[in-house]
Amino acid sequence: MGGDAQKKRIAIIGVSTFLLVAMVVAVTVSINLNNKGSSYDSKEESKSSVASSIKAVKTLCAPTDYKKECEDSLIEHSNNITDPRELIKIAFHVTISKIGEGLEKTELMHQVENDPRTKEALDTCKQLMNLSIGEFTRSLDRFTKFDLNNLDNILTSLKVWLSGAITYQETCLDAFENTTTDASLKMQRLLQSAMHMSSNGLSIITELSKTLSEMHIGKPGRRRLLNNNVLGHDYFDLPEWVDDQVGVRKLLHMTGRKRMAHVVVAKDGSGNFTTINEALKHVPKKNLRPFVIYVKEGVYNEYVEVSKNMTHVVMIGDGGKKSRITGNKNFVDGVGTFRTASAAILGDFFVGIGMGFENSAGAEKHQAVALRVQADRSIFYKCRMDGYQDTLYAHTMRQFYRDCIISGTIDFVFGDAVAVLQNCTFVVRKPLENQQCIVTAQGRKEMNQPSGLIIQGGSIVADPMYYPVRFDNKAYLARPWKNFSRTIFMDSYIGDLITPDGYMPWQTLEGLRGMDTCFYSEFNNRGPGSDKAKRVKWEGIKALDSDGISNFLPAKFFHGDDWIRVTRVPYYSGQPSPTH
Give the integer Cα–Cα distance in Å for 245 and 279: 28
Q: Report the alpha-carbon distance of residue 263 to residue 354 in Å, rounded.
A: 16
CB atoms within 10 A of CB 542: 16
Give Cα 559 to chain centroid, integer Å: 13
Residue 543 CA to residue 489 CA, distance in Å, equals 12
Are the C-beta atoms of residues 121 and 176 closer than 8 Å to each other? yes
**At residue 211, what is the residue type?**
T
Q: Clarify whether 411 is annotated catalytic.
A: yes
What are φ and ψ of residue 401, in 5° steps?
-120, 130
**What would the 3-class secondary structure string for 10-41 be?**
HHHHHCCCCHHHHHHHHHCCCCCCCCCCCCCC
97-102: long-range pairs with CB below 8 Å, 24+: 98/193, 98/194, 98/197, 99/129, 99/132, 99/133, 99/136, 99/169, 99/194, 99/198, 100/133, 101/190, 101/194, 102/129, 102/190, 102/191, 102/194
Quote helix, strand, coil % in the chain, to nearest 5: 40, 20, 40
List the beta bridge partners of residue 405: 384, 425
Name the catalytic one among 348, 386, 411, 561: 411
Q: How far apart are CA 326 and CA 395, in angstroms?
A: 19
Q: How far is the C-alpha of 168 from the C-alpha of 290, rounded, in Å?
A: 27
Strand partners, 125: none
Active-site residues, by number, are 411
